[in-house]
Amino acid sequence: MKIAVIGNGIAGTALVEEVLRLSEGKDVRLQVFGDERYIGYNRILITEVLAGRKLPTEIYIKRWQWYEEKGVRLEVGKRVERIFPNKKLLITRDGNIHRYDKVVIATGSKPFIPPIKGINKKGVFTYRTLDDVFKILDLARVSERAVVIGGGLLGIEVAKALADIGLEVYLVHILDILMEQQLDKTASELLRKDLQRMGVKVLLNRKTEEILGDKKAQGVRFSDGEEIRTELVIIATGIRPNVDVALNSGLKVNRGILVNDYLETSATDVYAVGECIEHRGKTYGLVAPIMEQVKVCAHNLVYGNEKRYEGSITYAMLKVAGINLFSAGDFKGEGKEVISFLDQGKGIYRKAVLKGNKVVGAILYGDIRGNNYILELIKTKRDVSEERPFFLIKHIVPEKGTEVKELKDTDIVCNCNAVTKGEIVKAILEKGAKTLEDIQALTKASTSCGSCSELVEEILKEYVKEKPKRVNKIEVIKKSLHPFDEEFRKRMEKYFEEGDWEKIPEEDRDVRLKWYGIFYRKATPGYFMIRIRVPNGRLTYEQAKVVAHISEKFCRGEVEITSRQQLQVRWVELKNIPEILNALNSVGLTTLQTGMDNVRNVTGDPLTGLAEDSLIDTLRLTKDVTNVFLGKKEYADMPRKVNVAVLGSRRDCINALFNDICFYLARKNGKLGFNLYLGGKIGSGGPVKAIDMDTFVEPYEVPDFTRVILDIYATYGNRENRSKNRLFFLLKEWGVERFREEMEKRLYKALPEKGEELVNSRGEREGIINLRNGTYAVCVVVPAGKIKAEDLRRAAELSRLYGSRELRLSVYQNFYIPNVPEENLEKLLSDPFFEKFSTVSSPFMTHLIACAGSDTCSFGVIKNKSDAVEVAKYLTERFELDIPIRMHWSACAKGCGQHGCGDIGFVGTKTKINGKAVLAVDLFVGGSTDREGMKLVQGVPLSRIKETVGSIIEYYLNNRLEGESFSDFVKRVGAETLKGLVVAKIKAGVC
């Protein structure tokens, strides 16, 4: 039997999957026709592409390989024009004729275009497909303002996405209620306030009368005469079933293609599912009912008309960051009983509509916990007379696990794919599922809209206990003997005295010693690396001299500047460590807590208090923050490492927003202070920008806020899975509001909303920098952060002779000699030291970051530092740049080189060429101090990386706008464009 499927979106692809499952062992052949030029993609996620959070390839439902493996013939870019039911033929736009035994129409929907004058002008777009997204992005990259017409689900999602990429956005709706098909007046008003807070200007009761402009849009005019100037207009006024092929084929059509309970159309063996159908007078535009239709239709295709579709209860969830919304059934409540709960302060609204003590509809806004329970009440029509009114609010003050415990095995957890709790439990108990990814692969739960993922995680927590628990080796070690316990201190003294590294137990050598900044490196057997804490990067003359002396006497005469403004020395023998630690302590330096589950070095602008754009001197603050945790056992037992940044300057030269705790320069009510961001990280799992906590912090409050945040994280952070226990994951689990509430409890005060952010530039300062006190700071560029001890000593001497007896270390692994009077500049720069070191290097070298590589780090896959310098030199010789390109190199996926926030990021890995493993890098582009980089290409052989990056730089120089930075260029042209360029050159053998 040959089954043809017209449409390869969510419905068409799901139908193919279900038919394959049911027809195993039967002679069934599938041919799928897709109108678009892409393989099937999840249309729900196109907003993620618009916002830059996902690449188009990341939303594909299946890969080409899957179709090939399953024997499904996929016809992409082939529009079916007409079906001939009597002859069982169909014809495509290109004139090709195909036979079928049964055919399914799954053509989805088309945008509704309202009668607005001038709607066909350039710059006016609908929003339904990936091509729409690409066209919108092309114009958005050169626009400052956008007007989105339509206040439904789609309009709100696109408005928020455009605001996220930096546009001023107006959301215009013809009615006085947003999402009127899902919300009432109260919920709509809460939603409007949230959108306004997120930067979207909401205009209600506005009828758009005309798109202004000649041939291209220049603005919109409303019926009351008001105008808004814009070159970018998005029409998101709803959808209509796509019935074109049905009309052409003579099938019965009303609003949608008419189908019976078997989902068969007016023609025999012609079926239809999804947004294109009308069943019992209703059309459906949501995923859950479509998946219910797919299961019925697939069964009837394979076994004949046996199963009936009796309609679906519709529900909606808004998938917009920072907004939680759920609406189901008859939520209006006209002529019925209504139970409601409203907390204006927290923005929580819950409403249930009852008919005869049975829930028929609901709205949850702000906190949607228990939505699956409410939906099940609607579906099962269970009497709630004994539970009212508590059933409506019990999940927002729940006993842990309440929702999981009250679910029956037959209750639906994933409404999109109709997956029950019982099926998920079976996957756990019988098939060994232990993670969300396992559940997704085995049951399809949480693979569509993703709204049920939290509930699936709760079920996992409830049932995976019966399996051996994941053991966090580090937590076990800390609990058995904490490194700060007296017993370990005595052990450590004994190890130093004996001087035999091979006698040290692995737990002590590889884990506990790191609490003291002592790192055993398997790549250098018998030798240790010592990391030295330098708060805010300020190193005194005496401290620099001592570090240089230590390096020459014990460490092969080389010092490394790290990407957290610290110093490292390597090749240390065990017997020499006490002398090294004593020498450092004598000048106020420490190695304490520079590794493992501790608060790491607190970073700040190296020229804080000196540079003209430094408004708050953070030297004292970083010391005060360090004093909160340093040497204290309660803060030396975090679930994972914590990075802290305090930025008091208009220039972000420390990648502040990629720290777990970030205080970011701001002003409120005339006072200077900081906006608080939490949860940033760089490393395995990819770069994540910190989350805006909507909180203003005055300078004197910074230490207290730090203490409270650390207390919360230490108490509630995940201590089981080390790949998911950074502060980010606690915030993701709790949400901003709950975390703010916990801070308020511990600080005993309400938290003020954020202030006006003052940061307006990024990257390293270089050359000779004017300081506010009339002196100068001289930048010293240190390629990849490696400097000889003799050179560090000379730099210290120069700071004593001509400056203020100090050096300032930067996160770009360079340093400054500050406070040099004008009369001393010439003497300083004429020193032979500056024949070896430059104050202004090439635009590829100044902003270069590279962590330790495979020579000295067992995690390193590539040598890294030498690779970074080699590529920078190659690019310097080949190209002239007027704007620096920040290249960040990480030797492995742990991300110590901060690859995620560089213009171009590199991660050491391996790939196969002709079956042989070779060294390679994953390439990231478009990162910045406030934006996460995107993976461009995976596994570029290291031998080809110079040419590969060269081709990207060449394309940038040939196609950039005047003054456009590389990061902004990537944002404008899109990572997919650069990926296509690189892949084409690799295939052509150019790279």
The Cα 764–Cα 784 span in angstroms is 14
What is the reported pLDDT for 398?
A: 52
Residue with tokens 């007016």: 266
* pLDDT of residue 399 exceeding 60: no
Read off the pLDDT of residues 789-801 as tens digits, 9 standing for 90 and up: 999 999 999 999 9
Mean pLDDT of 351-369: 91
Mean pLDDT of 515-526: 89
Answer yes or no: are the C-beta atoms of 264 and 280 closer than 8 Å.
no
Beta strands in 687-803 (DSSP E): 691-697, 756-757, 761-762, 768-770, 776-780, 786-788
Read off the pLDDT of residues 643-652 as tens digits, 9 standing for 90 and up: 999 999 999 9
The Cα 742–Cα 751 span in angstroms is 11
- Band (pLDDT 50/70/90 cuts) for residue 893 is confident
Residue with tokens 């316990």: 485
The Cα 779–Cα 787 span in angstroms is 14
> Using a CB cutoff of 8 Å and minimum separation of 24, what contacts does 308-314 make?
308/261, 308/262, 309/261, 309/262, 309/263, 309/279, 310/261, 311/279, 311/280, 311/282, 312/284, 312/288, 313/375, 313/378, 313/379, 314/284, 314/286, 314/288, 314/289
What is the reported pLDDT for 400?
A: 46
The Cα 857–Cα 908 span in angstroms is 12
Mean pLDDT of 110-116: 94
Read off the pLDDT of residues 245-274 as tens digits, 9 standing for 90 and up: 999 999 999 999 999 999 999 999 999 999
The Cα 816–Cα 825 span in angstroms is 13
Residue 439 vs residue 275, higher pLDDT = 275
What is the reported pLDDT for 55?
A: 72
What is the reported pLDDT for 523?
A: 74
The Cα 404–Cα 442 span in angstroms is 20
Beta strands in 587-722 (DSSP E): 644-647, 651-652, 661-668, 671-678, 691-697
* pLDDT of residue 388 exceeding 90: no
Mean pLDDT of 522-532: 90
Answer yes or no: are the C-beta atoms of 598 and 710 closer than 8 Å.
no
What is the reported pLDDT for 802?
A: 96
- Band (pLDDT 50/70/90 cuts) for residue 418 is low
CB-based contacts of 928, cutoff 8 Å, min separation 6:
762, 901, 903, 967
What is the reported pLDDT for 957?
A: 92
Read off the pLDDT of residues 50-94 as tens digits, 9 standing for 90 and up: 877 677 877 888 888 889 889 999 999 999 999 999 999 999 999
- Band (pLDDT 50/70/90 cuts) for residue 468 is very low
Q: What is the rounded end-to-end Cα distance, in angstroms, of the chain? A: 47
Pick the most confident of 386-395, 559-568, 911-920: 559-568
Q: Are strands 239-241 and 109-111 parallel, antiparallel or unpaired?
A: antiparallel
Kindly report which listed range (121-130, 218-227, 430-439, 957-966) carries the lowest average pLDDT score.
430-439
The Cα 896–Cα 683 span in angstroms is 7
Tell me which H or E stretch contains 137.
helix 130-140
Read off the pLDDT of residues 714-768 as tens digits, 9 standing for 90 and up: 999 998 888 788 999 999 999 999 999 999 988 988 999 999 999 998 888 988 9
Read off the pLDDT of residues 219-241 as tens digits, 9 standing for 90 and up: 999 999 999 999 999 999 999 99
Kindly report which listed range (324-328, 338-342, 467-471, 767-771) carries the lowest average pLDDT score.
467-471
Find, among 753, 782, 811, the residue nearest to 929 by Cα: 811
Answer yes or no: are the C-beta atoms of 50 and 136 closer than 8 Å.
yes
* pLDDT of residue 401 exceeding 50: no
* pLDDT of residue 683 exceeding 80: no
Mean pLDDT of 603-625: 96
Q: Are strands 257-259 and 538-540 parallel, antiparallel or unpaired?
A: unpaired
Please, what sign has the CA dihedral across residues 731, 733, 736, 741? negative
Find, among 586, 564, 585, 539, the residue nearest to 793 by Cα: 539
Residue with tokens 């110590």: 896
Kindly report which listed range (10-19, 761-770, 783-792, 802-811) carries the lowest average pLDDT score.
761-770
- Band (pLDDT 50/70/90 cuts) for residue 353 is very high
3-state secondary structure 335-370: CCEEEEEEECCCCEEEEEEECCCEEEEEEEECCCCC
What is the reported pLDDT for 990?
A: 60
Mean pLDDT of 110-138: 94
